[in-house]
Chain A
Amino acid sequence: MSELYSLRKIYGETLVKIADKYPEIVVLDADLAKSTKTQLFAQKYPNRFFDMGIAEADMVATAAGLASCGKIPYVSSFAMFATGKCWEQVRNTIAYSKFNVKIVATHACLSVGEDGASHQACEDVAVMNVIPNMNIIVPSDDVSTRFFTEEIAKIKGPFYMRLPRSETERIYSDNKKFVFGKEEVLRDGGNVTIFSMGLMTGIAIKAADKLRKNGIKVNVVDILTVKPIDKDTIIEFLKKSGKAVVCEEHEINGGITSIISTIASMNYPSKLRSVSITDKFGQSGDWKELFSIYGLTEDNIIKNVMELEND
C-alpha cells in the first residue's frame, strides 16, 4: 500500500511555507486549530493568527473586515460549522461584497468518522455553491491540496476549500501545476466517464484500473474546481462517452451529481448514475466502514459502470 497523507496537515504546513511570501495572509480559527492544523501557522506566526473562540459567525464576519483592509484571511473550522453555523454571514458579509476571504474547512462529511452526524457536513458544497461570487475547490490528494492552498491566495475573491479528516493516497506527481477552473483528466480513452470529487477520486481511479484490467476502459475526471465548474471539459467527456458515473462524498442533492446533471441536461443529455449520499444523515463509525455502508466504494462504482456499459 502506498503512503497516506493528511490533507489538513498539508494545509497547515503549506500555510507556514507561504506565510513570508504573502505577508497579507492572516489565519483565523474557532477553537479547532489543533484539528484543522492551523496551529502549525499559529506557532510560527502568533501575531498573524487569531483564535476567535467558538464563534463561527463572528469569525467569518471579522475575516471580511480584515479583507476589506487588504489582508488575505484564511478561516478554518470543521466543514459543518464553517458553512452551516454561519452560512448567512458568508453570504451577506463575505460573498455579497466579494471580500477576499479563504474559508478552508476540514473534517468534511463521512471522513469525520466517529463523531457522527452532528459533525458530518455532507451538504457543505451544496450550500456554498448556491452563493453568488463564491469559488469552490475540493482537492483530492496532498499535491492538489498544497497547490491550491497557495493558489487561492493569488486569486482575489471568496473561496471555499473542502478537506477531509481522514488520510488519503497521492494521485498527482509531485510538482504538478493545476489550473483553477480546469478539471483534471486522470484516465482517458474509455466509453464511460467517472466524474469524481475529493476522496472519491482516489477510489474512482482504483475502480477504473480494475475495470481496465477486465477490458473495460473508463475515463476519470477529477472535479477539483466545483465552482466555477469546468463546463467545457465536462461536456467534452459527456460527448466522448455519453455515459457517466458521478462520485462524491456528499449529498446527492446539490452536490456534483446535481451540478453535472444540469450541465448534461442543458448541453448533452447523457445517461448518468450517482455514487453519493442519498438524502441521509451520516453516523458514527470508522470512516472506511461508513464509506462502505453508504456505498462510496470501489465495488459500487464498478457496479454502476458495468450497468451503464451493459445498458
Chain B
Amino acid sequence: MFIMNIDELRRKAYQLRIDIIEMIYNANSGHPGGSLSAIDIMTVLYYKIMKHSPKEPNMPDRDRFILSKGHASPALYAVLADMGYFPKEELKNFRKANSMLQGHPSYLKTPGVEDSTGSLGQGLSFACGVAIAAKIDRRDYNVYCMIGDGESEEGQIWEAAMNGARHNLDNLCVILDYNHLQIDGNIYDIKRPQPFAEKWLSFGWDVMEIDGHDFNEIIEAFETFKSVKGKPSLIIAHTIKGKGVSFMENQADWHGKAPDKKQRDQAVEELKRYV
C-alpha cells in the first residue's frame, strides 16, 4: 500500500488522475481542475507520509487529512478507494443518488473522510480543533489540511490562522494549492489574497514554498514540517490547475466542468503515458 519510490509515486498519481477523469466523466459533473492540481500532494501524503490504516479508519492515533477545498473530492475518493477504504466500484456512483460518494465529502457517508467540507473556508478551523485535541490528549498524530488559494479569500481562514499560531499547533500542516485560479478567473484579478508567504509568516506560521508537482520537493517539505517545533506549518505549493491534461491546464473553465466523450478519451490517452 505504501510507496517509497519516487517514480512509483508519480505513476500512482497519474493512475489516480485517470480515475478522477473517469469519475467526473461518468458523473457528467464535478471539479477536474482543482483535483488535478492537488493529486500529487495527496498521493505523497497518503502513500508515503501519513500513518493511517484503511482497515481501521477510526484508529485514534491516525494522521488526519482534511480537504478544506472539498470540491476536489474526486482526488480524495480516488486515493481512498485505491487504498481500500471502500471498494473501487463505488467510484462509478460518484455524485449519483444514494451513493456514498457525495459531490462534496461527507463524514457520515464515506469511510476515510474526516470532515464534511464543500462550503469553503471551514476545514482549517476544524483541523485546528483536531490538532488541539491531540495536544490535550498528548497524542502524537499530525493533521494535514489542504486549502485553495481562492478559498483563502474567506475570512475564516485567517481566523483559523490566528488560532493555529496562538495554540502553537506544530502538529498541523496546511498545504495551500496555489494554482492561481478560482471560478471567475485569476485570484490576483478578483480579490488578490496575495502575498501569501508574507501574510502567513506575519500570522506566526512556518512557511515553505515548493513546486507542488515535484515529488522530491513535496516529500522534503513534509519532512521539514515534522521537524518544526512550536508553530504550525504552511506549505505554499505552486501548482497548475488541471495538471496533466493539456487542454485543462491553467484554464479557469475547467474548474467545475465534466469532459465529453472525446475530451475524456484524449485526457486518458495523455495521462496513460505517465502510468
Q: Is the interface of B mostly helix, strand, loop or mixed?
A: helix
Complex: how many Å from CA A66 to CA B106? 17
Complex: how many Å from CA A69 to CA B108? 15
B133's partner among A71, A88, A93 (CB-CB below 8 A) is A71
A287 CB–B CB distance under 8 Å:
no
Q: Which chain A residues numbered 92 to 116 have a C-beta less than 8 Å away from chain B?
A: 92-93, 96-98
Chain B residues contacting A48 (CB-CB under 8 Å) are: 136
Q: Are A65 and B159 in contact (CB under 8 A)?
A: no
Chain A residues contacting B159 (CB-CB under 8 Å) are: 53, 55, 57-58
Binary interface encoding of chain A residues 54-70 relative to chain B, with 1 for a CB under 8 A from any of its CBs, else 0: 01011111111111111
A93's partner among B126, B163, B167 (CB-CB below 8 A) is B126
Q: Are A97 and B115 in contact (CB under 8 A)?
A: yes
Chain A residues contacting B132 (CB-CB under 8 Å) are: 50, 62, 65-66
For A55, A57, A69, the residue with the greatest tally of chain B CB atoms inside 10 Å of its CB is: A69
A66's partner among B107, B108, B133 (CB-CB below 8 A) is B133
Q: Are A65 and B116 in contact (CB under 8 A)?
A: no
> Which residue of chain B is the closest to A133 with respect to CB atoms?
B108
Binary interface encoding of chain A residues 3-34 relative to chain B, with 1 for a CB under 8 A from any of its CBs, else 0: 00000000000000000000000100000000
Chain A residues contacting B54 (CB-CB under 8 Å) are: none
Chain A residues contacting B134 (CB-CB under 8 Å) are: 69
A96's partner among B106, B121, B131 (CB-CB below 8 A) is B106
Chain B residues contacting A53 (CB-CB under 8 Å) are: 159, 162-163
Chain A residues contacting B233 (CB-CB under 8 Å) are: none
Q: Is the interface of A mostly helix, strand, loop or mixed?
A: helix
Chain B residues contacting A62 (CB-CB under 8 Å) are: 125-126, 128-129, 132, 160, 163
* A26-B122 contact in complex given A58-B160, A61-B129, A65-B129, C-beta closer than 8 Å: no
Q: Are B125 and A57 in contact (CB under 8 A)?
A: yes
Q: Are A52 and B129 in contact (CB under 8 A)?
A: no
Complex: how many Å from CA A37 to CA B155? 28
Chain B residues contacting A191 (CB-CB under 8 Å) are: none
Chain A residues contacting B162 (CB-CB under 8 Å) are: 53, 55
B163's partner among A52, A67, A69 (CB-CB below 8 A) is A52
What would 12 more interface pairs be, CB under 8 Å, given A47-B136, A73-B129? A53-B159, A53-B162, A55-B156, A55-B163, A58-B159, A62-B132, A65-B125, A68-B129, A71-B136, A93-B119, A97-B107, A97-B115
21 contacts between A and B (CB under 8 A): A26-B136, A50-B132, A57-B125, A58-B156, A58-B160, A61-B125, A61-B129, A62-B160, A65-B115, A65-B125, A65-B132, A66-B129, A66-B130, A66-B133, A68-B114, A69-B133, A71-B133, A93-B122, A96-B108, A97-B107, A97-B115
